[in-house]
Chains A and B, each alone.
Chain A
């Protein structure tokens, strides 16, 4: 039994006269400690899939189990409760509150759970030193770089040790140096903390850090690749060629 089990998820927009099917029955299973990438071209439904899996958006059909909790028919408040205990988020545009300092932003998830202050401080030090943002703790988001913001955002996602962390294009707004930096941190957190990460990306280089990559096309799973024992470079080439097939353009390499 995986940590996340999704069966036949559907998501439609519009009304019955003008229905737009974004997800057409996606089956997905994620094991604990996995680092899963979801890839696909624009409009393939990958962000919708992430939103539905992470309870931000509601599925039109199908069931989603996270740690044996059925989230598809939970009420709004139950969902909020669920999110604060089980989920962590990293977004492309960081989603930091610009009126709070780095430390205050990171501690937010703990304050919802009313964790004692001492323990919160301990956890903060642990995660902040792992991500290398200890010395930024009293700065405001407007005073730090994009890469630092994204690491702050990641620290916030990891601090309360959620069952799953959802990352939506976390490297989308970063330069390549900051991006690889962040991805290294994410994969080491994945290894050290046994954290399960689901990451949506359209960047093959980012996806190559994952242990498994799922390709979405037209609202369905097209194929998936396992990294296995491969080197990252080799996995990257696999991903590139699969993506080439996916977009209908033959890869030259």
Chain B
């Protein structure tokens, strides 16, 4: 048999075993090429130019490259380890190491560059799809026509050639280091030796869980005012990261084994098949893979966290836009502007609802109701606050009572208010003592008055009239009216918006249209969301593949165990159930830890990004979990095959 036919035969055999490797290669090269194509495309110019997306895209492409490289190198280690016996055999029949290396390289090259070509082709097709999605989410108008970029192709080829060179280097080192004898033994050398749990490990285990818990607790307090300066805040963030990552590592190194051994101890040596296959194997394997699992968990947590945060921003855009306009479609500030607007709507037969309020600014002393205080440049005894009458707000307020409404989530974190307390309103000359009774969610007036989410005061109408007489003119030089309009028929909203934008208004700059704000927000966040989503998907697929490869490897080394168990009289169904349980742990533990990490990360700072947390976060987590479980299911399928062959 000539070398060439040997290569071809090996290839055929390996293709069947490593379809996922090939898939991963195709996928990662496709993804990379699509990304680079996007980067060099003219259609992207407005996006890149508008928000300095260029920098974001190149950072993302470097990160992407890094993930792909690590992933391919890892896949290769498993790939070559599985073939160590074959390499030993070639050596035994007198092939030189160089010749074996050439054989492997040729084989790898066909597989690698074949996948690369397919990947690039798919990537080009995919980039069209991507750019359409991108324009859809950002709302940037553009022609979704892409030209084939030779620059992108060149970059992709160079990058993947470098990775190929690295892989070859790894193979050389592997082959050079091995002797014939050791090659035959690589597989049988298990990566673990079962030993009794030492006291040291118990300590590590408990310490790991404790570290994670400390990290979580501190993360919950991050913005509660305990850390008031920027340096302290960064220090705390670093501390959390350190605790959680080290904790995760120790968790895999010791805690899993510790918890499992507690369960086993309680069983008194009497384990059923599910426990035999799941508990005992996990106990030792997690320990020896602690590093890998920590990386996977951290990467997943990062991906889920980033995806959640960007989705929170995107999802909250609608809310933010409503808060800007005081809960209406359009907000205006003067009587004459309102007239112009109403006229324009009437002329075009667009029905609308009006909502108006007279607004003044007074100074409010909130010293008594302030719960926490950061060291900010802010005077709590003289806070400029917009005031409206109970009539305009549509709520009932007693004469000596004060209600606040529409307080931005983010500001609330830095300056949280008590549930009730005494406050003083400063007019020009008089001071009025009022009893604060609570915070409402509504935003009754537009952003012009609330300045990005400061609360609005609602007082008794009689008091409002008094305050109006005693207004401090220094604080009230601008507008005094708020007009909000909601278009009755959603279908006419776009036309109303066009008309609104064509109007000649006095207070043009401070009049808002909700859908314009929304679109503006989306185009800002859209690109970030797109890039993060892209990277998140890559994280997901690479970490899923790595776990799957790991399981393939593990299945191979556990095959003798299945043989024993089947000889003892366990049916394949018994074994399958045990394996399902095992995979639930193998994939479930890193996933759950990753989800928990990202939950606490998002929890600690989500209000910096938007106004709704739960729904967008859950959506991201559910989608992530579903995609991730595909790899778990694939691995169970692979195990079933191994079990079937084991007797």
Contacts and interface: CB of A to CB of B under 8 A. Distances in A.
Given A100-B276, A142-B195, A107 B569 contact: no
A110 B569 contact: no
Contacts of B570: 80, 84, 112
A80 B566 CA distance: 7
A95 B564 contact: yes
Given A97-B280, A98-B190, A111-B272, A139 B566 contact: no
Nearest to A51: B567
A120 B270 CA distance: 8
B49 interface: no
Nearest to A116: B270
Contacts of B569: 80-85, 87, 109, 112
A56 interface: yes
Interface string B190-201: 101111100000
A84 B567 CA distance: 8
A104 B271 contact: yes
Given A108-B271, A141-B194, 10 more contacts: A87-B569, A97-B565, A99-B192, A99-B283, A109-B569, A112-B273, A112-B574, A138-B196, A140-B196, A143-B196
Considering residues A97, A109, A117, which has the most beta carbons from chain B within 10 angstroms of its beta carbon? A97
A224 interface: no
A121 B193 contact: no
A139 B194 CA distance: 9
Nearest to A111: B272
Nearest to B644: A76
Contacts of B264: 104
Given A56-B647, A98-B190, A142-B194, A89 B567 contact: yes
Given A99-B284, A140-B195, A141-B194, A110 B572 contact: no
Contact of B269 (A56, A98, A104, A142): A104
B571 interface: yes
A77 interface: yes
A107 B567 contact: no
Contacts of A80: 566, 569-572, 574
Interface in A120-172: 120-121, 124, 137-143, 156
Interface string A88-103: 0100000111111101
Contacts of A77: 571-573
Interface in B139-198: 190, 192-196
B555 to A, nearest CB: 14
B603 interface: no
B268 interface: yes
User: Which 3 residue pairs of A and B lie closest in terms of their CB atoms, listed nearest first?
Assistant: A84-B569, A103-B269, A83-B569
A108 B273 CA distance: 8
B568 interface: yes
B281 interface: yes
Interface residues of A, number: 40
A111 B271 contact: yes
Considering residues B192, B561, B566, B567, which has the most beta carbons from chain A within 10 angstroms of its beta carbon? B567
A190 to B, nearest CB: 21
Interface of A: 56, 76-77, 80-85, 87, 89, 95-101, 103-104, 106-112, 114, 117, 120-121, 124, 137-143, 156
Nearest to B264: A104
Given A99-B281, A138-B196, A140-B195, A124 B269 contact: yes
Given A99-B194, A99-B281, A107 B568 contact: no
B425 to A, nearest CB: 73
A143 B194 CA distance: 8
Considering residues B264, B566, B569, B571, which has the most beta carbons from chain A within 10 angstroms of its beta carbon? B569
A103 B268 CA distance: 9
A184 B276 CA distance: 31
A2 to B, nearest CB: 22
Contacts of A139: 196
Contacts of A103: 269
Contacts of A104: 264, 269-271, 276, 280
Given A98-B190, A109-B568, A117 B268 contact: yes
A170 to B, nearest CB: 14
Contacts of A117: 268, 270
Contacts of A138: 196
B572 to A, nearest CB: 7
Nearest to B281: A99
Interface in B118-138: none
B202 to A, nearest CB: 15
Contacts of A109: 568-569
Nearest to A108: B568
Interface in B279-293: 280-281, 283-284
A124 B269 CA distance: 10
Contact of A83 (B196, B280, B567): B567
Interface in B503-527: none
B109 to A, nearest CB: 37
B263 to A, nearest CB: 12
Nearest to B575: A80
6 contacts: A77-B571, A97-B276, A97-B564, A99-B284, A103-B269, A121-B268
Contacts of B574: 80, 112
Contacts of B273: 111-112
Nearest to B283: A99
A103 B269 CA distance: 6
A140 B269 contact: no
A87 B280 CA distance: 25
A104 B563 CA distance: 17
Contacts of B565: 97, 108
Contacts of B196: 138-140, 143
Contacts of B284: 99
Contacts of A137: 269
A50 B563 CA distance: 16
Considering residues B193, B194, B270, B273, which has the most beta carbons from chain A within 10 angstroms of its beta carbon? B270
Nearest to B190: A98
Contacts of A82: 569
Contact of A84 (B193, B272, B568): B568
Interface in B537-590: 560-561, 563-574
A209 B554 CA distance: 40
Given A104-B276, A111-B272, A98 B194 contact: yes
Nearest to B566: A80
Contacts of B560: 95
Contact of A89 (B270, B283, B568): B568
Nearest to A94: B564
Interface in B190-241: 190, 192-196
A143 B195 contact: yes
Contacts of B271: 100, 104, 107-108, 111
A141 B573 CA distance: 27
A106 to B, nearest CB: 8
A176 B565 CA distance: 29
A112 B577 CA distance: 13
A121 B270 CA distance: 8
Contacts of A142: 193-195
B565 to A, nearest CB: 8
B430 to A, nearest CB: 81
Nearest to B269: A103
Contacts of A89: 567-568
B270 A107 contact: yes
Nearest to A97: B561
Nearest to A86: B569
Considering residues A85, A107, A114, A120, which has the most beta carbons from chain B within 10 angstroms of its beta carbon? A107
Nearest to B195: A140
B525 to A, nearest CB: 49
Contacts of B192: 99
Nearest to A78: B571
